[in-house]
């Protein structure tokens, strides 16, 4: 089956990965991983005590006190979400759009998935009224909605849900008896942390929320899979953690020993890690602003990026020009722009949006360079946008979009 066959739109094997850092590995992280490569022991399912202690310290510093017996580690967030979905049961609700890797976990378990519209000003969190309507419709049709997955700092829209909207969504979810999984992979990538308020659902509903963080967001390269989950401190949280641990054990989902060492080091947040994270966030924020500017200048639409390493572009205003190139849906927009830009441009259908909507996610990593030398230069440049290879890539994007006006 070819990717462009209509019945093949959106298969899991073609799903886009989360936006990458696109930078050389931090030398201190590489040294820790290398030093642990000679260890023959396996990390136990759920994580070693040192890894879980480090995860608890990470959450403590973010106002979410956590005990080690309320934490679990796994080789990536997809394994954690799969285990959580299996342990909680019932139907799953997701905002539209949402991270590309969320829905496949529920589908793999045979669970029904229902998307809920998000408000105009942000993604990642369902519109409260749409959530209530969706839950009641599912129950009226004999369904059993139990789990809501959301993301305050969102992939794919790169927005951050305002606290007042989060409160309303949490009240609606609580009133309907839903359990929440909060994907906080991108919480440490706020472009302007002094002007953006990020409120974790776990701060509002401490007994009904499990927090999941994939360390590929703030700390680790994507080839070193590791993620951590924080469970509520009450008895129900302990029971859920135990069921999740059972699933991870059955799957053999252990964090590799060298990766666990690197994850422990990163979660302790020593100076090299925090300095690299701050530099990485500043860099991607600068590039994201430039990408957003190019999208808007061409007459398309995108919400201003507030977090992460991506921009979610709505090309609907360019529909007639795209139609002249044979582009009529998100899959065709993905194929067309991937070739035209020379970089991935996954369509919105990968993220739960309608196939007919002309939306694509543009990651900022490809603009940083094609070689390690180019990527290293952007980290130290006074103005990375003035580097020739970055300027060329941004100009190519602007030209490609302007040609569609």
Secondary structure (DSSP) of 364-379: SGGGG-SSHHHHHHHH
Per-residue model confidence (pLDDT) at position 82:
97
Residue 278, C-beta contacts closer than 8 angstroms, at least 6 positions apart: none
Tokens of residue 34, six digits: 């290398």
* pLDDT single digits (tens) 22-81: 999 999 999 999 999 999 899 999 999 999 999 999 999 999 999 999 999 999 999 999
Per-residue model confidence (pLDDT) at position 13:
63
- What's the average model confidence in pLDDT over 4-27? 74
Angstrom distance (rounded) from CA 4 to CA 6: 6
Element (H, E) at 84: helix 77-88
- What's the average model confidence in pLDDT over 227-235? 92
- What's the average model confidence in pLDDT over 299-315? 97
Q: Is the pLDDT assigned to residue 14 strictly greater than 80?
A: no
Angstrom distance (rounded) from CA 85 to CA 351: 18
For the purposes of burial, counting CB atoms within 10 Å of the CB of 73, is it exposed (0-12), middle (13-18) or buried (19 or more)? buried
Angstrom distance (rounded) from CA 236 to CA 138: 25
| Percentage of the chain modeled with pLDDT above 70 | 97
Per-residue model confidence (pLDDT) at position 2:
36
Task: Provide the phi-psi class of 299: left if phi over 0, else alpha when psi is between -120 and 50, else beta.
Answer: left
* pLDDT single digits (tens) 316-325: 999 999 999 9
Per-residue model confidence (pLDDT) at position 11:
58
User: With contact defined as beta carbons under 8 Å apart, do 358 and 257 qualify?
Assistant: no
Name the average pLDDT for the chain: 94
Element (H, E) at 54: helix 49-60
Q: Is the pLDDT assigned to residue 245 strictly greater than 50?
A: yes
Per-residue model confidence (pLDDT) at position 12:
65
Per-residue model confidence (pLDDT) at position 356:
96
Tokens of residue 50, six digits: 């040192």
- What's the average model confidence in pLDDT over 244-273? 98
Q: Which long-range contacts (CB under 8 A, 24 or more apart) does 24-29 make?
A: 24/372, 24/375, 24/376, 25/221, 26/272, 26/273, 26/276, 27/272, 28/265, 28/270, 28/272, 28/273, 29/219, 29/220, 29/262, 29/265, 29/266, 29/273
- What's the average model confidence in pLDDT over 253-262? 98
Query: What pTM did the predictor assign?
Result: 0.94
User: With contact defined as beta carbons under 8 Å apart, do 322 and 336 qualify?
Assistant: yes
> At which residue do the structure tokens 């969102």 appear?
154
Angstrom distance (rounded) from CA 70 to CA 234: 9
Per-residue DSSP letter, 187: G
Structure confidence at residue 300 as a pLDDT band (50, 70, 90): very high
In degrees, to the nearest 5, what angle opens at C-alpha 164 toward C-alphas 159 and 168?
105
More confident of the two residues 130 and 11:
130
Angstrom distance (rounded) from CA 149 to CA 364: 25
How many other β-carbons are positioned within 10 Å of the β-carbon of residue 19?
Answer: 27
Per-residue model confidence (pLDDT) at position 328:
96
Tokens of residue 107, six digits: 């589908």
CA 381 → CA 41, 218, 385, 386, 387, distances in Å?
Answer: 42, 21, 9, 9, 8
Angstrom distance (rounded) from CA 373 to CA 389: 11
How many other β-carbons are positioned within 10 Å of the β-carbon of residue 233?
Answer: 15
């Amino acid at each position: 089956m070819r990717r462009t066959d209509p019945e093949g739109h959106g298969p899991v094997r073609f799903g886009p990965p989360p936006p990458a850092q696109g930078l050389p590995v931090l030398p201190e992280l590489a040294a820790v991983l290398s030093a642990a490569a000679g260890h023959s022991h396996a990390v136990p399912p759920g994580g070693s005590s040192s890894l879980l202690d480090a995860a608890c310290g990470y959450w403590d510093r973010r106002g979410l006190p956590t005990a080690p017996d309320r934490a679990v580690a796994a080789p990536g967030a997809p394994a954690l979400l799969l285990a959580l979905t299996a342990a909680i049961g019932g139907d799953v609700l997701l905002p539209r759009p949402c991270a590309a890797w969320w829905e496949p976990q529920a589908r793999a378990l045979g669970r029904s998935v229902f998307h809920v519209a998000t408000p105009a000003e942000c993604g990642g969190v369902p519109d409260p009224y749409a959530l209530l309507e969706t839950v009641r419709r599912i129950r009226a049709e004999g369904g059993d909605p139990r789990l809501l997955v959301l993301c305050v700092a969102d992939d794919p829209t790169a927005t951050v849900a305002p606290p007042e909207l989060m409160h309303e969504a949490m009240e609606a979810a609580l009133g309907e008896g839903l359990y929440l999984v909060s994907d906080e992979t991108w919480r440490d990538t706020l472009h302007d942390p002094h002007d953006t308020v990020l409120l974790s659902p776990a701060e509002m509903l401490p007994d009904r929320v499990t927090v999941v963080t994939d360390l590929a967001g703030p700390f680790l390269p994507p080839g070193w899979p590791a993620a951590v989950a924080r469970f509520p401190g009450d008895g129900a949280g302990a029971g859920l953690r135990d069921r999740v641990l059972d699933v991870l054990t059955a799957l053999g989902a252990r964090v590799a020993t060298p990766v666990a060492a690197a994850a422990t080091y990163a979660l302790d947040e020593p100076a090299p890690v925090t300095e690299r994270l701050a530099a990485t966030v500043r860099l991607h924020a600068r590039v994201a602003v430039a990408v957003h500017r190019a999208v808007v200048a061409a007459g398309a639409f995108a919400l201003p990026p507030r977090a992460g390493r991506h921009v979610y572009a709505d090309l609907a205003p360019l529909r007639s020009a795209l139609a002249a190139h044979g582009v009529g849906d998100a899959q065709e927009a993905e194929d067309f722009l991937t070739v035209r830009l020379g970089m991935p441009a996954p369509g919105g259908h990968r993220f739960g949006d309608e196939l007919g909507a002309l939306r694509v996610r543009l990651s900022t990593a490809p603009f940083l360079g094609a070689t390690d030398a180019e990527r290293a230069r952007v980290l130290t440049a006074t103005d990375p946008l003035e580097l020739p290879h970055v300027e060329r890539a941004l100009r190519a994007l602007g030209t490609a979009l302007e040609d569609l006006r």
